[in-house]
Structure 1
Amino acid sequence: MQPNIEVGVLFAPEFSFTLNGAYKLKATGEVVEGEGEALLKDGVIAIMINGQAISSDFPVEFEPVNYEEAGFELKDVVIGINFHWERKEDQRFKGTLRIISEDGHLTAVNRLPLEDYLISVISSEMSATSSPQLLRAHAVISRSWLMAQKEKEQKLKETGNYETVIESEGEKIKWYDREDHINFDVCADDHCQRYQGITRASTKEVEAAIADTFGEVLTYNNEICDARFSKACGGIAEVFENVWEPVNHPYLTKVIDNDFTPEGFSLDLKQEDAANDWITGNPPAFCNTQDKEVLAQVLNDYDQETADFYRWKVTLEQDDVKRLLKKKIDLELGDIIDMIPVERGESGRLIRLRIVGTKGGLIIGKELEIRKALSESHLYSSAFVVEKEAGEGDIPKSFTLFGAGWGHGVGLCQIGAAVMGAKGYSYQEILNHYFRGAELEKRY
């Protein structure tokens, strides 16, 4: 039997919502519908339905009287949080609306069956009109990732604290995963998996992909795989432990995103010369495509604002770098003299980067911390090389980053998988390509 899951959707001190259809307030059994408001002030929650206050002890739960007929809408949900496409939109959902208090704000949580959640994820992470094989592959990895996270959460509750920062003299290494979600299973944004309820129109093809793979997951040694994915690996997929906690998952390994080895490149991208040639070059790869029809399968409207995902360039003026370092990671090093690669992963992504200034230096990592530190939102990836423009004395005027790929690069490459689907690969072949040694297994 499929499990229910809880998704954190909206985080704000107050928000508006609409109950479309009959909903039962769990605490009292009262049936309500219509326009709602939730407000947190001085730790006390106030819930209004059609202008009337209702019982409001935490948690507040509205359960649909008829799951198929009722739905609710949340106003001004922020999507793409801290990414370059961040914006607000109204979103509609099926299932239960749960309102909780966390760290001085309210969180709107949606509880619903896992397979219905997946229909939305597949339509939110990519176009609902994607190729059938891509839809099936993504259904399997999204289901696998979610179930693996639920198992991981249970283990964390049993074993205690989970550390995401390693600090030593002159070095701060930090990684970001989903362990900070302790009151629900996953969030609704790119930090976990994009989930936008039934806002993104689904299709019969999406529903067929979910139905055809119902309960199907990737496993390795009888354990459900922590199946990761990103937009574009940049030509080579990265290893799990280079991005997140130092745990090896053999199925999340270095993968050349092609059915042949590109000629003219050394693929030991841990070496600086090889990484420079690879990142500044244009090697063939599944994800190296400008086919708009294929890209439209993976990139929703706001994602298509990004055209240079495979190879990209960003120039930062000296003042930009200083300001960003202070704003994003609270680091003040005076004028920035250099950015020196310390350690790269299998895909050329920087794991550790030394930033040197007139007032000292610090090694930062892992990849997302580096991406955050050098951008108002996030750099597309940490696979980049740096070119300095000379200024006065030893102080560079600017730094130009030449980069590769979009996202962390671990596991399935969404654009690469879309190309594989267009080339006629089956979803099983797509999964075998990106998750080496993993097997398909039906769990319910």
Structure 2
Amino acid sequence: MKEPRVDVGIMFEPQIDFVLQGNYLWNSSLVTGSQNAVYSEGKILWNGSAYEELLFEPSDSANDSFELLDVTIGINFHWERKENQRFRGALKLIVENNKLTAVNVISVEDYLISVISSEMSATASMELLKAHAVISRSWLLAQIQKNKEIAEAKSEYTAFSQTEDECIKWYDREDHVNFDVCADDHCQRYQGITRASTKNVELAVRSTSGQLLMSGEKICDARFSKCCGGAVEEFQYCWEDVKHPYLVKLRDDKSGEPLPDLTKEDEAVKWIYTSPDAFCNTTDKKILSQVLNNYDQETVNFYRWKVSYSQKELSELILKRSGVDYGEIVDLIPVERGTSGRLVKLKIVGTKRTLTIGKELEIRRTLSTSHLYSSAFVVEKENIINNIPQRFNLIGSGWGHGVGLCQIGAAVMGEQGYTYDKILLHYYVGASINKLY
């Protein structure tokens, strides 16, 4: 197998300003310096002419780079902001949804060096960096393979189902059809060479080059999240109803004790209200700084957390986020939980409307101006007047979907002397690590 290239969608705007730092080839012509492309009537307007697509290839791939101006990062998250970003590889501009999309075409290993530096601190332990290189590579190639299978099958892939009483939606790779992955948290954080990497990051990627997590003959869909909250979730509770043998429920510690059955409401409540020992149950700033970039560290409580809304705040928030007018919110009722206690289905009871929503990310999006840290939460109601609670408290556990590797847990394991293969096989049960190229 030859090292693949990957198409990464970076930004989506009516106008894209960029700087070619070096000599780039376009249609056999050399182009350099500041450029401006604008969406116009289904085409790309650049240098006074209209095009279906533009591709700028570097003359010197080792030294040339391009800069995209005002790239939005952390889309819909609490740290959303714009910044200028620099990239190696080629720049492709395409038309999509009445806007322009900037796509970076780059080799997988070069892509990974940036991902590891973007997803976590480049000062993380070598074993954690190696583990992350393997899972990021595996996840990426699994998504590319899945895309091909969906395209070849020519079957309609849907991530949405709705009845009068229930609306179930999940968010996955099918959102991107004209490139392999996006550059934001929806896929994997990728910020080109904007984030300074270190020799350790490059060494971690190069020393694991071509290594993939495998389940039989298939590349593992190696999901990961920030903090599992002590309990690792199963794939099917967050995305389509597919049970991967290596993404199973797991207690995130070394005790060997089984995880309580957190699909049961009383067990989930007990788990979330307590703070069980786990690899990711740490407040060690040295370890947290390995995983959390500066804007992640703006959040301090995520192993266990609390969010509180007044009746007015919650009813207005849910209306704004979902577009559904429930009236005043009477109750938030857990309907189904996954194996980590994360809510898969939540019934919202209002004075005007009652509807069950899911899966976990849809619940998190509906109940926050950005995203709740996770859907593993318990609902407390206060000051009930005429059956209408005047305040709702959400007491929660973890940060993210909780499937696969827990980044904070893996950082702790690295500090405790676990090697990268032991870290990986803790989180991806029964998988193997194979070198494919």
**TM-score with structure 2 length normalisation?**
0.98
Equivalenced residues, count? 435
Cα shift at 1:166 = 1.6
1:252 matched to 2:251? The reply is no
Is the 2:159–2:171 Cα contact (8 Å) retained in structure 1?
yes
Cα shift at 1:168 = 2.2
Deviation by residue 1:379-434 (Cα, 9 ceiling, x = unmatched): 00000000011243111111100000000000000000000000000000000100
Q: Which moved more, 1:422-431 or 1:164-173?
A: 164-173
**Which residue is 2:261 aligned to?**
268
**Which residue is 1:313 aligned to?**
306
- In 2, distance between residues paired with 1:426 and 1:173? 39
Is the 2:14–2:38 Cα contact (8 Å) retained in structure 1?
yes
Cα shift at 1:184 = 0.4
SS at match of 1:117: helix
**Which residue is 2:136 aligned to?**
142
Cα shift at 1:355 = 0.6
Is the 1:262–1:284 Cα contact (8 Å) retained in structure 2?
no
- In 1, distance between residues paired with 2:63 and 2:433? 34
**Which residue is 1:76 aligned to?**
70
Q: Which moved more, 1:319-328 or 1:352-361?
A: 319-328
1:60 maps to a residue whose letter is L
After superposition, the CA RMSD in angstroms is: 1.1
Is the 1:262–1:283 Cα contact (8 Å) retained in structure 2?
no
**Which residue is 1:327 aligned to?**
320
- In 2, distance between residues paired with 1:202 and 1:326? 42
2:68 maps to a residue whose letter is L
Cα shift at 1:324 = 1.8
1:113 maps to a residue whose letter is S
**Which residue is 2:32 aligned to?**
33
Cα shift at 1:221 = 1.4
Deviation by residue 1:266-318 (Cα, 9 ceiling, x = unmatched): 71111111111111111110000000000010000100111101000000111
SS at match of 1:363: strand
- 1:248-397 correspondence runs (5 A): 248-260=243-255, 267-397=260-390
- 1:98-117 correspondence runs (5 A): 98-117=92-111
Deviation by residue 1:307-334 (Cα, 9 ceiling, x = unmatched): 1010000001112222222221111111
- In 2, distance between residues paired with 1:318 and 1:246? 34
Match of 1:219 among 214, 219, 230: 214
- In 2, distance between residues paired with 1:192 and 1:56? 31
Match of 1:154 among 119, 123, 148: 148
Could you tell me which runs of 5 or more consecutive residues in structure 1 were left unpaired when the two chains were aligned: 48-52
1:330 maps to a residue whose letter is G
Cα shift at 1:45 = 2.0
- In 1, distance between residues paired with 2:249 and 2:48? 55
- In 2, distance between residues paired with 1:275 and 1:3? 43
Cα shift at 1:55 = 4.7
1:42 maps to a residue whose letter is E
**Which residue is 1:50 aligned to?**
none
Deviation by residue 1:92-138 (Cα, 9 ceiling, x = unmatched): 00010000010011100000100000000000000011100000000
Deviation by residue 1:139-164 (Cα, 9 ceiling, x = unmatched): 00000000000110001002221110
**Which residue is 1:170 aligned to?**
165
- In 2, distance between residues paired with 1:365 and 1:416? 27
SS at match of 2:63: coil
- In 2, distance between residues paired with 1:131 and 1:327? 42
**Which residue is 2:198 aligned to?**
203
SS at match of 1:176: coil
Is the 1:145–1:227 Cα contact (8 Å) retained in structure 2?
yes
- In 1, distance between residues paired with 2:283 and 2:221? 30
- In 1, distance between residues paired with 2:398 and 2:36? 41
Cα shift at 1:178 = 1.5
- In 1, distance between residues paired with 2:256 and 2:303? 18
Is the 2:364–2:375 Cα contact (8 Å) retained in structure 1?
yes
**TM-score with structure 1 length normalisation?**
0.96
Could you tell me which runs of 5 or more consecutive residues in structure 2 were left unpaired when the two chains were aligned: none
1:85 matched to 2:79? The reply is yes
Is the 2:92–2:103 Cα contact (8 Å) retained in structure 1?
yes
**Which residue is 1:7 aligned to?**
8
- In 1, distance between residues paired with 2:247 and 2:309? 33
2:329 maps to a residue whose letter is I
SS at match of 2:330: strand
1:298 maps to a residue whose letter is V
Aligned-residue identity in percent: 57
**Which residue is 1:18 aligned to?**
19
Cα shift at 1:40 = 0.8
Is the 2:43–2:52 Cα contact (8 Å) retained in structure 1?
no
1:402 matched to 2:395? The reply is yes
Q: Which runs of 4+ in 1 moved over 6 A?
A: none
Deviation by residue 1:49-86 (Cα, 9 ceiling, x = unmatched): xxxx1654121011101111210000111111011111
2:87 maps to a residue whose letter is F
**Which residue is 1:133 aligned to?**
127
